[in-house]
Structure 1
Amino acid sequence: MLGFGLAIEPQLWALIFVMVRIGAAFVVAPVFGAVSIPLPVRVSLSGAIGLLVLAAHPITPPAQIFAVTTFLAVAAEALVGLAMGFILQVAFSAPLIASELIGGSMGIGFASSIDPQNGRSSPALGQFMSIMLTLLFLSVDGHLVLVEMLVKSYDVMPPGTWLAVGRLRDIAFFGGYAFLAGLLLALPVGFLLLCLNLIVGMLSRAAPALNLFAIGLPASLAVGVVALAIAFPAMGDYMLVIIREGLAAVQSLVFG
Protein backbone atom coordinates (compact mmCIF):
# COMPACT_ATOMS: atom_id res chain seq x y z
CA MET A 1 0.00 0.00 0.00
CA LEU A 2 1.48 3.34 -1.07
CA GLY A 3 -0.99 5.80 0.42
CA PHE A 4 -4.53 7.01 -0.31
CA GLY A 5 -5.61 3.43 -0.87
CA LEU A 6 -3.33 3.05 -3.90
CA ALA A 7 -1.21 0.00 -4.56
CA ILE A 8 1.57 -0.69 -7.05
CA GLU A 9 3.89 -3.57 -7.73
CA PRO A 10 7.03 -3.16 -5.59
CA GLN A 11 9.32 -4.00 -8.52
CA LEU A 12 7.65 -1.38 -10.76
CA TRP A 13 7.85 1.28 -8.05
CA ALA A 14 11.54 0.48 -7.51
CA LEU A 15 12.19 0.78 -11.26
CA ILE A 16 10.40 4.13 -11.48
CA PHE A 17 12.34 5.42 -8.48
CA VAL A 18 15.67 4.36 -10.00
CA MET A 19 14.77 5.93 -13.34
CA VAL A 20 14.58 9.39 -11.73
CA ARG A 21 18.35 9.79 -11.43
CA ILE A 22 19.06 8.24 -14.82
CA GLY A 23 16.37 10.21 -16.62
CA ALA A 24 17.46 13.49 -15.03
CA ALA A 25 21.01 12.90 -16.24
CA PHE A 26 19.80 12.14 -19.76
CA VAL A 27 17.72 15.33 -19.87
CA VAL A 28 20.75 17.64 -19.67
CA ALA A 29 23.65 15.43 -20.77
CA PRO A 30 25.11 15.86 -24.27
CA VAL A 31 24.01 13.38 -26.95
CA PHE A 32 21.27 11.92 -24.73
CA GLY A 33 19.63 15.31 -24.21
CA ALA A 34 19.48 16.26 -27.89
CA VAL A 35 16.07 17.42 -29.04
CA SER A 36 16.32 15.04 -32.00
CA ILE A 37 16.04 12.04 -29.63
CA PRO A 38 12.33 11.31 -29.01
CA LEU A 39 11.06 11.23 -25.45
CA PRO A 40 9.95 7.55 -25.66
CA VAL A 41 13.50 6.59 -26.59
CA ARG A 42 14.90 8.37 -23.53
CA VAL A 43 12.32 6.78 -21.25
CA SER A 44 12.98 3.33 -22.71
CA LEU A 45 16.73 3.78 -22.35
CA SER A 46 16.33 4.98 -18.75
CA GLY A 47 14.17 1.94 -18.00
CA ALA A 48 16.69 -0.45 -19.56
CA ILE A 49 19.54 1.03 -17.52
CA GLY A 50 17.29 1.03 -14.45
CA LEU A 51 16.84 -2.73 -14.82
CA LEU A 52 20.63 -3.14 -14.84
CA VAL A 53 20.88 -1.01 -11.70
CA LEU A 54 18.25 -3.09 -9.91
CA ALA A 55 20.05 -6.27 -10.93
CA ALA A 56 23.38 -5.00 -9.58
CA HIS A 57 22.24 -3.13 -6.46
CA PRO A 58 19.64 -4.03 -3.82
CA ILE A 59 17.67 -0.77 -3.84
CA THR A 60 14.73 -0.30 -1.51
CA PRO A 61 12.43 2.57 -2.57
CA PRO A 62 10.40 4.59 -0.05
CA ALA A 63 7.43 2.77 1.42
CA GLN A 64 4.86 5.41 0.43
CA ILE A 65 4.60 7.63 -2.62
CA PHE A 66 2.57 10.45 -1.13
CA ALA A 67 4.93 11.32 1.70
CA VAL A 68 7.30 14.19 2.36
CA THR A 69 10.28 11.86 2.70
CA THR A 70 9.50 10.35 -0.70
CA PHE A 71 9.33 13.78 -2.36
CA LEU A 72 12.66 14.71 -0.78
CA ALA A 73 14.23 11.45 -1.92
CA VAL A 74 13.00 11.97 -5.50
CA ALA A 75 14.34 15.55 -5.44
CA ALA A 76 17.72 14.28 -4.23
CA GLU A 77 17.82 11.67 -7.02
CA ALA A 78 16.94 14.29 -9.63
CA LEU A 79 19.63 16.64 -8.28
CA VAL A 80 22.32 13.97 -8.55
CA GLY A 81 21.35 13.11 -12.13
CA LEU A 82 21.09 16.73 -13.22
CA ALA A 83 24.50 17.50 -11.70
CA MET A 84 26.18 14.64 -13.57
CA GLY A 85 24.70 15.65 -16.91
CA PHE A 86 25.23 19.37 -16.33
CA ILE A 87 28.99 18.95 -15.83
CA LEU A 88 29.34 17.35 -19.25
CA GLN A 89 27.13 20.03 -20.77
CA VAL A 90 29.46 22.69 -19.34
CA ALA A 91 32.44 21.00 -20.95
CA PHE A 92 30.59 20.83 -24.27
CA SER A 93 30.01 24.59 -24.22
CA ALA A 94 33.74 25.24 -24.79
CA PRO A 95 33.49 24.95 -28.63
CA LEU A 96 30.71 27.55 -28.66
CA ILE A 97 32.91 29.99 -26.74
CA ALA A 98 35.82 29.28 -29.08
CA SER A 99 33.60 29.82 -32.13
CA GLU A 100 32.50 33.21 -30.79
CA LEU A 101 36.14 34.29 -30.47
CA ILE A 102 37.17 32.96 -33.87
CA GLY A 103 34.02 34.00 -35.72
CA GLY A 104 34.17 37.54 -34.40
CA SER A 105 37.75 37.94 -35.58
CA MET A 106 37.05 36.34 -38.96
CA GLY A 107 33.93 38.37 -39.60
CA ILE A 108 31.54 35.42 -39.77
CA GLY A 109 30.05 35.79 -36.31
CA PHE A 110 26.70 36.68 -37.89
CA ALA A 111 26.48 33.32 -39.72
CA SER A 112 24.19 31.10 -37.67
CA SER A 113 21.98 28.06 -38.13
CA ILE A 114 19.76 25.78 -36.06
CA ASP A 115 21.75 23.50 -33.80
CA PRO A 116 20.29 19.97 -33.88
CA GLN A 117 21.56 19.30 -30.36
CA ASN A 118 19.49 21.94 -28.56
CA GLY A 119 17.12 23.20 -31.25
CA ARG A 120 18.29 26.81 -30.95
CA SER A 121 20.17 29.09 -33.29
CA SER A 122 23.93 29.01 -32.83
CA PRO A 123 26.96 30.19 -34.84
CA ALA A 124 27.67 27.98 -37.82
CA LEU A 125 31.30 27.55 -36.81
CA GLY A 126 30.27 26.66 -33.26
CA GLN A 127 27.80 24.11 -34.57
CA PHE A 128 30.52 22.52 -36.69
CA MET A 129 32.88 22.30 -33.71
CA SER A 130 30.12 20.97 -31.45
CA ILE A 131 29.35 18.20 -33.94
CA MET A 132 33.03 17.30 -34.08
CA LEU A 133 33.21 17.22 -30.27
CA THR A 134 30.11 15.01 -30.18
CA LEU A 135 31.61 12.59 -32.71
CA LEU A 136 34.84 12.42 -30.71
CA PHE A 137 32.81 11.86 -27.54
CA LEU A 138 31.08 8.90 -29.16
CA SER A 139 34.31 7.56 -30.68
CA VAL A 140 36.01 7.30 -27.27
CA ASP A 141 32.87 5.67 -25.76
CA GLY A 142 32.16 8.66 -23.56
CA HIS A 143 28.45 7.84 -23.54
CA LEU A 144 29.22 4.35 -22.21
CA VAL A 145 31.48 5.83 -19.53
CA LEU A 146 28.65 8.12 -18.46
CA VAL A 147 26.24 5.19 -18.21
CA GLU A 148 28.82 3.22 -16.22
CA MET A 149 29.27 6.07 -13.76
CA LEU A 150 25.49 6.37 -13.42
CA VAL A 151 25.29 2.71 -12.46
CA LYS A 152 28.27 2.92 -10.09
CA SER A 153 26.94 6.08 -8.47
CA TYR A 154 24.46 3.95 -6.52
CA ASP A 155 27.40 2.37 -4.67
CA VAL A 156 28.72 5.63 -3.19
CA MET A 157 25.49 7.65 -3.23
CA PRO A 158 22.53 5.44 -2.32
CA PRO A 159 19.03 6.63 -3.26
CA GLY A 160 17.97 9.65 -1.26
CA THR A 161 21.52 10.94 -0.68
CA TRP A 162 21.90 14.67 -1.14
CA LEU A 163 24.95 16.21 -2.76
CA ALA A 164 27.36 17.79 -0.31
CA VAL A 165 27.91 21.53 -0.39
CA GLY A 166 31.54 21.03 -1.42
CA ARG A 167 30.53 19.07 -4.49
CA LEU A 168 28.06 21.76 -5.51
CA ARG A 169 30.87 24.29 -5.13
CA ASP A 170 33.08 22.17 -7.37
CA ILE A 171 30.36 22.23 -10.05
CA ALA A 172 30.29 26.03 -9.91
CA PHE A 173 34.08 26.24 -10.15
CA PHE A 174 34.09 23.83 -13.08
CA GLY A 175 32.04 26.40 -14.99
CA GLY A 176 35.20 28.47 -15.31
CA TYR A 177 36.85 25.61 -17.16
CA ALA A 178 34.48 26.17 -20.10
CA PHE A 179 35.91 29.66 -20.64
CA LEU A 180 39.49 28.44 -20.22
CA ALA A 181 38.96 25.53 -22.62
CA GLY A 182 37.24 27.80 -25.14
CA LEU A 183 40.12 30.26 -25.02
CA LEU A 184 42.75 27.52 -25.45
CA LEU A 185 40.73 25.92 -28.23
CA ALA A 186 40.59 29.21 -30.14
CA LEU A 187 44.18 30.19 -29.35
CA PRO A 188 45.94 28.92 -32.56
CA VAL A 189 43.51 30.61 -34.95
CA GLY A 190 42.93 33.60 -32.72
CA PHE A 191 46.64 34.35 -32.47
CA LEU A 192 47.04 34.42 -36.25
CA LEU A 193 44.00 36.67 -36.62
CA LEU A 194 45.41 38.97 -33.94
CA CYS A 195 48.67 39.24 -35.86
CA LEU A 196 46.68 40.02 -39.01
CA ASN A 197 44.79 42.77 -37.22
CA LEU A 198 48.08 44.28 -36.06
CA ILE A 199 49.36 44.26 -39.64
CA VAL A 200 46.17 45.88 -40.90
CA GLY A 201 46.46 48.49 -38.16
CA MET A 202 50.01 49.33 -39.21
CA LEU A 203 48.87 49.60 -42.81
CA SER A 204 46.14 52.01 -41.78
CA ARG A 205 48.74 54.25 -40.12
CA ALA A 206 51.11 54.01 -43.07
CA ALA A 207 48.46 54.59 -45.76
CA PRO A 208 45.41 56.38 -44.28
CA ALA A 209 43.75 56.56 -47.71
CA LEU A 210 43.73 52.75 -48.01
CA ASN A 211 40.27 51.16 -47.91
CA LEU A 212 40.72 48.77 -45.00
CA PHE A 213 37.24 47.29 -45.31
CA ALA A 214 38.01 46.11 -48.83
CA ILE A 215 41.30 44.54 -47.70
CA GLY A 216 40.92 43.63 -44.03
CA LEU A 217 37.69 41.65 -44.16
CA PRO A 218 38.64 39.34 -47.08
CA ALA A 219 42.10 38.89 -45.58
CA SER A 220 40.64 37.96 -42.17
CA LEU A 221 38.28 35.46 -43.75
CA ALA A 222 40.99 33.87 -45.91
CA VAL A 223 43.54 33.68 -43.08
CA GLY A 224 40.89 32.30 -40.72
CA VAL A 225 39.86 29.51 -43.08
CA VAL A 226 43.47 28.52 -43.78
CA ALA A 227 44.35 28.69 -40.09
CA LEU A 228 41.35 26.49 -39.20
CA ALA A 229 42.41 23.92 -41.78
CA ILE A 230 45.96 23.85 -40.44
CA ALA A 231 45.16 23.99 -36.72
CA PHE A 232 42.17 21.63 -36.70
CA PRO A 233 44.23 18.47 -35.91
CA ALA A 234 45.61 20.20 -32.82
CA MET A 235 42.14 21.47 -31.95
CA GLY A 236 40.83 17.91 -32.27
CA ASP A 237 43.46 16.69 -29.83
CA TYR A 238 42.42 19.36 -27.34
CA MET A 239 38.77 18.38 -27.79
CA LEU A 240 39.77 14.96 -26.50
CA VAL A 241 41.29 16.71 -23.48
CA ILE A 242 37.99 18.54 -22.93
CA ILE A 243 36.10 15.24 -23.02
CA ARG A 244 38.57 13.66 -20.60
CA GLU A 245 38.32 16.61 -18.20
CA GLY A 246 34.52 16.55 -18.33
CA LEU A 247 34.36 12.83 -17.57
CA ALA A 248 36.94 13.29 -14.82
CA ALA A 249 34.80 16.02 -13.29
CA VAL A 250 31.78 13.70 -13.32
CA GLN A 251 33.86 10.96 -11.70
CA SER A 252 35.05 13.41 -9.04
CA LEU A 253 31.45 14.41 -8.37
CA VAL A 254 30.36 10.81 -7.94
CA PHE A 255 33.32 9.27 -6.12
CA GLY A 256 34.72 12.38 -4.44
Structure 2
Amino acid sequence: MMGFGLSIEPQLWALLFAMVRIGAAFVAAPVFSAVSVPLPVRIALSGAIGVLVVNTAHIVAPPEIFSINTFLAVAAEALIGLALGFVLQIAFSAPMIASEVIGMGMGLGFANAVDPNSGHATPALGQFLSLLLTLLFLAVDGHLVLVDLVVRSYEVMPPGAWIAPQRLLNIAMFGGYAFLAGLLLALPVGFLLLCLNVVVGMLSRAAPALNLFAIGIPASLAMGIVAILLALPAMGDYMLVIIREALAAAPALVLG
Protein backbone atom coordinates (compact mmCIF):
# COMPACT_ATOMS: atom_id res chain seq x y z
CA MET A 1 0.00 0.00 0.00
CA MET A 2 2.89 2.34 0.75
CA GLY A 3 4.44 1.77 -2.66
CA PHE A 4 1.08 2.27 -4.42
CA GLY A 5 0.59 5.61 -2.66
CA LEU A 6 4.03 6.85 -3.63
CA SER A 7 3.59 5.81 -7.27
CA ILE A 8 0.19 7.46 -7.74
CA GLU A 9 1.13 10.77 -6.12
CA PRO A 10 3.33 12.13 -8.98
CA GLN A 11 0.62 11.27 -11.49
CA LEU A 12 -2.00 13.07 -9.42
CA TRP A 13 0.22 16.13 -9.09
CA ALA A 14 0.82 16.13 -12.87
CA LEU A 15 -2.94 15.90 -13.44
CA LEU A 16 -3.68 18.80 -11.11
CA PHE A 17 -0.95 20.86 -12.76
CA ALA A 18 -2.40 20.15 -16.22
CA MET A 19 -5.88 21.10 -15.02
CA VAL A 20 -4.75 24.66 -14.25
CA ARG A 21 -4.53 25.74 -17.89
CA ILE A 22 -7.68 23.86 -18.85
CA GLY A 23 -9.71 25.23 -15.94
CA ALA A 24 -8.50 28.78 -16.59
CA ALA A 25 -9.61 28.50 -20.22
CA PHE A 26 -13.06 27.34 -19.13
CA VAL A 27 -13.33 30.24 -16.68
CA ALA A 28 -12.78 32.83 -19.44
CA ALA A 29 -14.19 31.08 -22.53
CA PRO A 30 -17.79 31.60 -23.63
CA VAL A 31 -20.40 28.93 -22.94
CA PHE A 32 -18.21 27.22 -20.31
CA SER A 33 -17.95 30.41 -18.21
CA ALA A 34 -21.72 30.87 -18.00
CA VAL A 35 -23.26 31.08 -14.55
CA SER A 36 -25.60 28.24 -15.52
CA VAL A 37 -22.63 25.86 -15.79
CA PRO A 38 -21.95 24.62 -12.23
CA LEU A 39 -18.43 24.68 -10.86
CA PRO A 40 -18.33 20.88 -10.29
CA VAL A 41 -19.09 20.40 -14.00
CA ARG A 42 -16.15 22.62 -14.97
CA ILE A 43 -13.87 20.76 -12.58
CA ALA A 44 -15.02 17.39 -13.93
CA LEU A 45 -14.45 18.53 -17.53
CA SER A 46 -11.02 19.89 -16.62
CA GLY A 47 -10.12 16.61 -14.96
CA ALA A 48 -11.33 14.50 -17.89
CA ILE A 49 -9.41 16.60 -20.42
CA GLY A 50 -6.42 16.69 -18.04
CA VAL A 51 -6.25 12.88 -18.10
CA LEU A 52 -6.11 13.06 -21.91
CA VAL A 53 -3.37 15.70 -21.79
CA VAL A 54 -1.26 13.78 -19.28
CA ASN A 55 -1.42 10.64 -21.41
CA THR A 56 -0.69 12.38 -24.74
CA ALA A 57 1.58 15.33 -23.90
CA HIS A 58 4.82 15.38 -21.98
CA ILE A 59 3.75 17.09 -18.76
CA VAL A 60 6.58 17.78 -16.35
CA ALA A 61 5.16 19.13 -13.10
CA PRO A 62 7.40 21.14 -10.75
CA PRO A 63 9.17 18.82 -8.30
CA GLU A 64 8.16 20.86 -5.24
CA ILE A 65 4.57 21.79 -4.55
CA PHE A 66 5.15 24.74 -2.21
CA SER A 67 7.86 26.86 -3.80
CA ILE A 68 8.19 30.11 -5.68
CA ASN A 69 8.98 28.33 -8.93
CA THR A 70 5.81 26.27 -8.60
CA PHE A 71 3.67 29.35 -7.98
CA LEU A 72 5.20 31.04 -11.02
CA ALA A 73 4.62 27.96 -13.16
CA VAL A 74 0.97 27.76 -12.03
CA ALA A 75 0.54 31.48 -12.77
CA ALA A 76 1.99 30.99 -16.26
CA GLU A 77 -0.38 28.08 -16.93
CA ALA A 78 -3.36 30.10 -15.70
CA LEU A 79 -2.35 33.06 -17.88
CA ILE A 80 -2.20 30.91 -21.01
CA GLY A 81 -5.61 29.39 -20.32
CA LEU A 82 -7.20 32.75 -19.52
CA ALA A 83 -5.74 34.27 -22.69
CA LEU A 84 -7.16 31.48 -24.88
CA GLY A 85 -10.63 31.90 -23.43
CA PHE A 86 -10.47 35.69 -23.28
CA VAL A 87 -9.86 36.04 -27.03
CA LEU A 88 -13.09 34.13 -27.71
CA GLN A 89 -14.92 36.16 -25.07
CA ILE A 90 -13.90 39.37 -26.83
CA ALA A 91 -15.48 38.21 -30.07
CA PHE A 92 -18.63 37.09 -28.23
CA SER A 93 -19.17 40.63 -26.93
CA ALA A 94 -19.99 41.81 -30.48
CA PRO A 95 -23.74 41.01 -30.17
CA MET A 96 -23.97 43.18 -27.06
CA ILE A 97 -22.43 46.11 -28.92
CA ALA A 98 -24.76 45.50 -31.86
CA SER A 99 -27.77 45.38 -29.55
CA GLU A 100 -26.81 48.75 -28.04
CA VAL A 101 -26.67 50.32 -31.50
CA ILE A 102 -29.94 48.75 -32.66
CA GLY A 103 -31.73 49.23 -29.34
CA MET A 104 -31.02 52.96 -29.20
CA GLY A 105 -32.41 53.39 -32.73
CA MET A 106 -35.51 51.33 -31.96
CA GLY A 107 -36.18 52.96 -28.63
CA LEU A 108 -35.38 49.79 -26.67
CA GLY A 109 -32.41 51.22 -24.82
CA PHE A 110 -34.37 51.06 -21.57
CA ALA A 111 -35.43 47.43 -22.02
CA ASN A 112 -32.94 45.57 -19.83
CA ALA A 113 -33.20 42.15 -18.21
CA VAL A 114 -31.00 39.90 -16.13
CA ASP A 115 -28.80 37.74 -18.34
CA PRO A 116 -28.77 34.18 -16.94
CA ASN A 117 -25.32 33.55 -18.43
CA SER A 118 -23.51 36.51 -16.88
CA GLY A 119 -25.87 37.39 -14.03
CA HIS A 120 -25.85 41.09 -15.01
CA ALA A 121 -28.46 43.37 -16.55
CA THR A 122 -28.09 43.41 -20.34
CA PRO A 123 -30.30 44.68 -23.18
CA ALA A 124 -33.11 42.31 -24.06
CA LEU A 125 -32.10 42.37 -27.71
CA GLY A 126 -28.53 41.59 -26.69
CA GLN A 127 -29.69 38.44 -24.93
CA PHE A 128 -31.42 37.29 -28.10
CA LEU A 129 -28.35 37.90 -30.27
CA SER A 130 -26.00 36.36 -27.71
CA LEU A 131 -28.19 33.26 -27.46
CA LEU A 132 -28.21 32.99 -31.25
CA LEU A 133 -24.41 33.30 -31.36
CA THR A 134 -24.06 30.65 -28.64
CA LEU A 135 -26.32 28.22 -30.50
CA LEU A 136 -24.33 28.75 -33.70
CA PHE A 137 -21.11 28.24 -31.74
CA LEU A 138 -22.36 24.89 -30.49
CA ALA A 139 -23.79 23.96 -33.89
CA VAL A 140 -20.41 24.31 -35.63
CA ASP A 141 -18.70 22.37 -32.79
CA GLY A 142 -16.89 25.45 -31.56
CA HIS A 143 -16.72 24.00 -28.04
CA LEU A 144 -14.90 20.93 -29.41
CA VAL A 145 -12.51 23.16 -31.35
CA LEU A 146 -11.79 25.06 -28.12
CA VAL A 147 -11.00 21.83 -26.28
CA ASP A 148 -8.75 20.70 -29.14
CA LEU A 149 -7.04 24.10 -29.06
CA VAL A 150 -6.32 23.81 -25.35
CA VAL A 151 -4.94 20.28 -25.76
CA ARG A 152 -2.72 21.27 -28.70
CA SER A 153 -1.45 24.30 -26.79
CA TYR A 154 0.72 21.98 -24.69
CA GLU A 155 2.72 21.09 -27.81
CA VAL A 156 3.35 24.71 -28.78
CA MET A 157 3.76 26.10 -25.25
CA PRO A 158 4.75 23.33 -22.83
CA PRO A 159 4.31 23.85 -19.09
CA GLY A 160 6.66 26.49 -17.77
CA ALA A 161 6.49 28.72 -20.88
CA TRP A 162 5.36 32.32 -20.58
CA ILE A 163 3.36 34.43 -23.01
CA ALA A 164 5.54 37.09 -24.61
CA PRO A 165 4.59 40.71 -23.78
CA GLN A 166 4.05 41.42 -27.47
CA ARG A 167 1.38 38.71 -27.58
CA LEU A 168 -0.37 40.26 -24.59
CA LEU A 169 -0.35 43.58 -26.43
CA ASN A 170 -1.83 41.91 -29.52
CA ILE A 171 -4.59 40.40 -27.38
CA ALA A 172 -5.39 43.84 -25.97
CA MET A 173 -5.45 45.33 -29.46
CA PHE A 174 -7.83 42.55 -30.52
CA GLY A 175 -10.43 44.23 -28.31
CA GLY A 176 -11.13 46.62 -31.18
CA TYR A 177 -12.46 43.66 -33.15
CA ALA A 178 -15.47 43.51 -30.84
CA PHE A 179 -16.49 47.07 -31.80
CA LEU A 180 -15.88 46.43 -35.49
CA ALA A 181 -17.85 43.17 -35.49
CA GLY A 182 -20.65 44.73 -33.43
CA LEU A 183 -21.04 47.66 -35.82
CA LEU A 184 -20.99 45.40 -38.87
CA LEU A 185 -23.54 43.12 -37.23
CA ALA A 186 -25.86 46.06 -36.57
CA LEU A 187 -25.26 47.71 -39.96
CA PRO A 188 -28.32 46.35 -41.88
CA VAL A 189 -30.83 47.21 -39.16
CA GLY A 190 -29.07 50.43 -38.21
CA PHE A 191 -29.11 51.69 -41.80
CA LEU A 192 -32.87 51.16 -42.12
CA LEU A 193 -33.47 52.90 -38.79
CA LEU A 194 -31.29 55.79 -39.93
CA CYS A 195 -33.37 56.12 -43.10
CA LEU A 196 -36.53 56.13 -40.98
CA ASN A 197 -35.14 58.88 -38.78
CA VAL A 198 -34.37 60.95 -41.88
CA VAL A 199 -37.95 60.51 -43.09
CA VAL A 200 -39.35 61.44 -39.67
CA GLY A 201 -37.09 64.50 -39.61
CA MET A 202 -38.37 65.58 -43.03
CA LEU A 203 -41.97 65.15 -41.83
CA SER A 204 -41.25 67.25 -38.76
CA ARG A 205 -40.01 70.05 -41.01
CA ALA A 206 -42.96 69.75 -43.39
CA ALA A 207 -45.62 69.49 -40.67
CA PRO A 208 -44.38 70.97 -37.37
CA ALA A 209 -47.75 70.30 -35.76
CA LEU A 210 -47.22 66.53 -35.84
CA ASN A 211 -46.43 64.83 -32.54
CA LEU A 212 -43.10 63.14 -33.25
CA PHE A 213 -43.18 61.11 -30.04
CA ALA A 214 -46.57 59.62 -30.98
CA ILE A 215 -45.38 58.78 -34.52
CA GLY A 216 -41.62 58.33 -34.40
CA ILE A 217 -41.29 55.90 -31.48
CA PRO A 218 -43.92 53.35 -32.66
CA ALA A 219 -42.63 53.65 -36.22
CA SER A 220 -39.03 53.05 -35.06
CA LEU A 221 -40.08 50.04 -33.03
CA ALA A 222 -42.10 48.53 -35.87
CA MET A 223 -39.37 49.24 -38.42
CA GLY A 224 -36.74 47.75 -36.11
CA ILE A 225 -38.67 44.51 -35.66
CA VAL A 226 -39.29 44.17 -39.39
CA ALA A 227 -35.66 45.01 -40.16
CA ILE A 228 -34.39 42.38 -37.70
CA LEU A 229 -36.63 39.75 -39.28
CA LEU A 230 -35.38 40.63 -42.75
CA ALA A 231 -31.72 40.91 -41.76
CA LEU A 232 -31.63 37.89 -39.46
CA PRO A 233 -30.27 35.46 -42.11
CA ALA A 234 -27.46 37.87 -43.00
CA MET A 235 -26.74 38.49 -39.31
CA GLY A 236 -26.57 34.73 -38.73
CA ASP A 237 -24.08 34.34 -41.58
CA TYR A 238 -21.90 37.09 -40.13
CA MET A 239 -22.08 35.47 -36.70
CA LEU A 240 -20.55 32.38 -38.26
CA VAL A 241 -17.77 34.59 -39.60
CA ILE A 242 -17.23 35.98 -36.09
CA ILE A 243 -16.97 32.45 -34.69
CA ARG A 244 -14.46 31.36 -37.34
CA GLU A 245 -12.32 34.46 -36.90
CA ALA A 246 -12.36 34.10 -33.11
CA LEU A 247 -11.31 30.44 -33.26
CA ALA A 248 -8.55 31.39 -35.70
CA ALA A 249 -7.40 34.41 -33.67
CA ALA A 250 -7.05 32.51 -30.37
CA PRO A 251 -4.12 30.28 -31.45
CA ALA A 252 -2.59 33.03 -33.59
CA LEU A 253 -2.53 35.62 -30.81
CA VAL A 254 -1.79 33.41 -27.81
CA LEU A 255 0.30 30.58 -29.23
CA GLY A 256 1.84 32.47 -32.11
User: TM-score by structure 1 length?
Assistant: 0.96
1:24-103 correspondence runs (5 A): 24-103=24-103
- 1:120: how far off? 1.1
Asked if structure 2 preserves the Cα contact closer than 8 Å seen for 1:156 and 1:255, the reply is yes
Q: Equivalent residue for 2:205? A: 205
Contact 1:20 1:77 in 2 (8 A): yes
Secondary structure of the structure 1 residue equivalent to 2:248: helix
Distance in 2 between residues matched to 1:39 and 1:188, nearest whole Å: 39
State the partner residue of 2:155: 155
Residue of structure 2 in register with 1:11 after alignment: 11
Is the counterpart of residue 227 in structure 1 residue 227 in structure 2?
A: yes
Per-residue deviation, 1:102? 0.2
Q: CA deviation at 1:112?
A: 1.4
Residue 255 of structure 1 deviates from its aligned partner by 3.8
3-state SS of paired residue (2:192): helix
Partner Cα distance (1:135, 1:23) in 2? 22
Which residue identity is paired with 2:181?
A: A
Between the aligned partners of 2:48 and 2:118, the Cα distance in structure 1 is 24
C-alpha distance in 2 between matches for 1:77 and 1:255: 13
Q: Is the 8 A contact 1:15 1:47 kept in 2?
A: yes
Q: Provide the alpha-carbon RMSD of the alignment.
A: 1.1
Structure 2 contact 106–193 (Cα < 8 Å) conserved: yes
| Residue 110 of structure 1 pairs with residue 110 of structure 2 | yes
Q: Which runs of 5+ in 2 are unaligned?
A: 1-6
Give, in whole Å, the separation in 2 of the partners of 1:44 and 1:211: 60
Question: How many angstroms apart in 1 are the aligned matches of 2:171 and 2:129?
Answer: 24
Q: Which residue of 2 aligns with 1:129?
A: 129
State the Cα distance separating 1:160 from its structure 2 match: 1.3
Determine helix, strand or coil for the equivalent of 1:73: helix
- The TM-score, its normalising length taken from structure 2, stands at 0.96
Distance 1:178 1:75 in 2: 27
- Cα offset, 1:28, TM superposition: 1.2
- 1:8 is displaced (CA, Å) by 7.9
Supply the distance in 2 between the matched residues of 1:177 and 1:77 (Cα, whole angstroms).
Answer: 26
Are the counterparts in 2 of residues 185 and 238 from structure 1 also a CA contact under 8 Å?
yes
CA distance in structure 2 between the partners assigned to 1:195 and 1:248 by the alignment: 36
Q: How does 1:144-183 map to 2 (within 5 A)?
A: 144-183=144-183
Offset of residue 253 of structure 1: 2.7
Give the conservation status (yes or no) of the 8 Å contact 1:156–1:254: no
For the pair 1:240 / 2:240, whether they are aligned, the reply is yes
Cα deviation code 1:178-237 (max 9, x no counterpart): 000000000000000001001111111111111000000000000000000000000000
Letter in 1 for 2:91: A
Report how far residue 254 of structure 1 moved.
4.3
* Contact preservation (8 Å) 1:29, 1:89: yes
Size of the alignment, in residue pairs? 250
Distance in 2 of aligned mates of 1:219 and 1:99: 18
| Separation in 2, partners of 1:251, 1:159 | 16
The answer as to whether partners of 1:96 and 1:182 remain within 8 angstroms in 2 is yes
Structure 2 equivalent of residue 4 of structure 1: none
Contact 1:93 1:178 in 2 (8 A): yes
